[in-house]
Amino acid sequence: MHTEPSQTAWEVLENDITTCNKCPRLVAWREEVARVKRRAFQNCAYWGKPVPGFGDFNARLLILGLAPGAHGSNRTGRMFTGDSSGDTLFS
């Protein structure tokens, strides 16, 4: 019998993702990008943490992003937003 993960399970997973520091090189990179901003986003607050997924928990299709865009989801905190990959996906 297949059971669906609960909302709480998804919240725990999201917390595990956004607080992960297991890859020191990746942590240093994303935090530096959030500190040293591109001129176009100089006045924007950057997320600068691992980016969790979003969408329908019961979707039949999963789209997985390889890495957050430096000034896309690393800035916005939402996968596929703020950069050309999101523009392509949502068009």
Report helix, strand or coil for 28.
Answer: helix
**Where exactly are the structural domains of the chain?**
7-90
- Torsion region of 51: left, alpha or beta (phi above 0 gives left; psi -120 to 50 gives alpha): beta
- For the residues 25-44, what does the mean pLDDT come to? 93
CATH code of the region 7-90: 3.40.470.10
Q: Record the tokens describing residue 81, joined without a space.
A: 């937003």
pLDDT in tens, 44-80: 999 999 998 888 878 899 888 877 788 888 899 888 8
Q: Does pTM surpass 0.85?
A: no
